[in-house]
Amino acid sequence: MSKPAIPRGTRDFSPEQMRRRNYIFDTIRSVFARYGFEQIETPTMENLSTLEGKYGEEGDKLMYRILNSGRVLDKIKEVGPNVKISDLTEKGLRYDLTVPFARFVVMNQNDIAFPFRRYQIQPVWRADNPQKGRYREFYQCDADVIGSDSLLNEVDLLSIIVDVFKLLNVGFKIKLNNRKILAGIAEVIGAPEKIIDITVAIDKLDKIGLDKVKEELRSKDLSDAAILKLEPIILLSGSNEQKLATLSDVLKSSEIGLKGIEETRSILSSFALLFPQADHVEVDITLARGLNYYTGAIIEVKANDPRSKFTSSICGGGRYDDLTGIFGLPNVSGVGISFGADRIYDVLEEAGGFPDFSTVSTRLLFVNFGEQEAAYCLNLARTMRNDGVFTEVYPDSAKMKKQMTYADKKKIPFVALVGSNEMTSGMISVKNMTSGEQHQVPAGELSSFIKNHNS
């Protein structure tokens, strides 16, 4: 037998880690609910026809495929070299929550009240190379509104982001872009198919400098004239309004580009009414995520906490005008965001930002002195639990030292010693494990004693 192991990029979670993870999930869940979002779940696996082609070439490569049940090898032998992938696999693990949601909406369109606000907190799988903050199995926490074009939805989502990170007390920065602005840029320089190349190159400005960016654009077959037009965009800076002003000048001939600017202004001004002093949102035209389906706003949140070096993306999202179209329900617009719980965990961990959860586990342990005593304690424990005190009775009449050590390790703050003396007198000996003090407490007052003594 070799040593047991888990697959690359996956993790076990200890009780302590789960307390912290649930804190994150519960916080996000409560904010979603507060905004009227309702929870759904979808299956771990989907048909490949649902998943494939939705995430671009890269996404298809990173998708986990499930071998058909039955004898795949026999199939290969039977069909020979002409065997098709679809003979071997027709299901895959979900790669994100948005595409399964779109499928869900199409399948349940007659039962859904639009605009539909749904949230979904489930793991997704990607066959990516693991690194810090990058896992092969991780949770996404999605909130989407589908069936409404209103930009107020974008504003809702932005304010959800602010609420979540305020509650978690994580420093953050929201980046906002608009696919229509990117389309406008491509239109103005006459190279619509080059949007991705352009944004990727511009994004490197801080790292490699203006000249190298131009060089890279040239290597992507952009004309010198186009690069000259792009220059004010590459060097875009200042306040959000200054950036948008520069953009509207460059994009004045592009209807779609101007539409994108108008949308962004509208979102920003509504947001500013809600958070007058806040500077959470920054317009950033290098944000080019999800270009395969985003059509309007593009949102990304980066960790920006002085206590943590983590600066990667902890939340992302955007608007897709026609996501359900590919499943046969055209012209339904959606907008959504997705929190990366695992990365938020990493940031909070590094920042030391988790609250103390010691009071959510066992508060009282009954030491087991033997059969009769244990039976008596079991009854007392039942009362304690009914009174809301998290209680355990040590299951074996092991040595005191062992039972005390157990309480110590589990950080159980109170230990009750109930032997024959206590059983006859009805006075329970309660030891405070932090101070070491011991008190005699009437059995009937035990729960109030525990509740009134914080330890």
Partner RNA sequence: GUGAUUGUAGCUCAGUCGGUUAGAGCGCUAGAUUGUGGAUCUAGAGGUCGCGGGUUCGAGCCCCGUCUUUCACCCCA
Q: Which chain residues interact with RNA by CB under 7 A?
A: 1-3, 5, 7-9, 58, 96, 126, 128-136, 138, 140, 196, 200, 288-291, 300-301, 312-316, 338-340, 342-343, 369, 399-402, 404-405, 407-409, 415, 417, 419-422, 429, 431, 433-434, 436, 438
Q: Of 109 and 292, which has the nearer Cβ to RNA?
A: 292
Query: Any idea what DSSP says for residue 108?
Result: T
Interhelix angle 224-234/205-219, rounded to 10 degrees, is 160
| Alpha carbon distance 454, 433 (integer Å) | 11
| Alpha carbon distance 366, 360 (integer Å) | 18
For 349, half-sphere exposure in the C-beta direction (CA atoms, 13 angstrom radius) is: 15
Q: Of 228 and 400, which has the nearer Cβ to RNA?
A: 400
Q: How far is the CB of 92 from RNA (least distance, A)?
A: 15
Omega before 115 within 30 of 0, i.e. cis = yes
Q: Of 13 and 114, which has the nearer Cβ to RNA?
A: 13
Strand 116-125 with 172-178, pairing: unpaired
Chain mean position to CA 399: 45
Q: How far is the CB of 396 from RNA (least distance, A)?
A: 11
What residues have CB less than 8 Å from 142, skipping those under 6 apart? 97, 98, 101, 119, 120, 121, 336, 337, 338, 339
Q: How far is the CB of 285 from RNA (least distance, A)?
A: 14
Q: How far is the CB of 244 from RNA (least distance, A)?
A: 23
Q: How far is the CB of 269 from RNA (least distance, A)?
A: 26
Q: How far is the CB of 432 from RNA (least distance, A)?
A: 7
Q: Buried (b) or exposed (e) across 50-71, using 16+ Cβ within 10 A?
A: bbbebbeeebbebbbbeeeeee
Q: Of 258 and 427, which has the nearer Cβ to RNA?
A: 427
Chain mean position to CA 83: 39
Q: Of 37 and 293, which has the nearer Cβ to RNA?
A: 293
Q: Buried (b) or exposed (e) across 233-256, using 16+ Cβ within 10 A?
A: bbebeeebeebbebbbebbeebeb
Q: Of 1 and 85, which has the nearer Cβ to RNA?
A: 1
Q: Which DSSP string corresponds to 374-419?
A: HHHHHHHHHHHHHTT--EEE-SS---HHHHHHHHHHTT-SEEEE--
State the amino acid at position 301 in one-letter form.
V
Q: Of 163 and 262, which has the nearer Cβ to RNA?
A: 163
Tokens of 315: 């939340």
For CA atoms 41, 46, 49, 51, the dihedral sign is: positive
Q: Of 39 and 438, which has the nearer Cβ to RNA?
A: 438
Nearest alpha carbon to residue 232 among 214, 215, 246, 213: 246
Tokens of 117: 């606000």
Q: Of 402 and 451, which has the nearer Cβ to RNA?
A: 402
What residues have CB less than 8 Å from 430, skipping those under 6 apart? 414, 415, 416, 417, 438, 439, 440, 441, 446, 449, 450
- Three-state DSSP at 169 gives coil
Q: How far is the CB of 113 from RNA (least distance, A)?
A: 27
Q: Of 344 and 384, which has the nearer Cβ to RNA?
A: 344
Q: Of 56 and 115, which has the nearer Cβ to RNA?
A: 56
Q: Of 26 and 58, which has the nearer Cβ to RNA?
A: 58
What residues have CB less than 8 Å from 70, skipping those under 6 apart? none
Q: How far is the CB of 407 from RNA (least distance, A)?
A: 7
Q: How far is the CB of 215 from RNA (least distance, A)?
A: 14
Q: How far is the CB of 144 from RNA (least distance, A)?
A: 13
Q: How far is the CB of 55 from RNA (least distance, A)?
A: 8
Tokens of 343: 């990365």
Q: How far is the CB of 277 from RNA (least distance, A)?
A: 26
Nearest alpha carbon to residue 21 among 344, 356, 353: 344
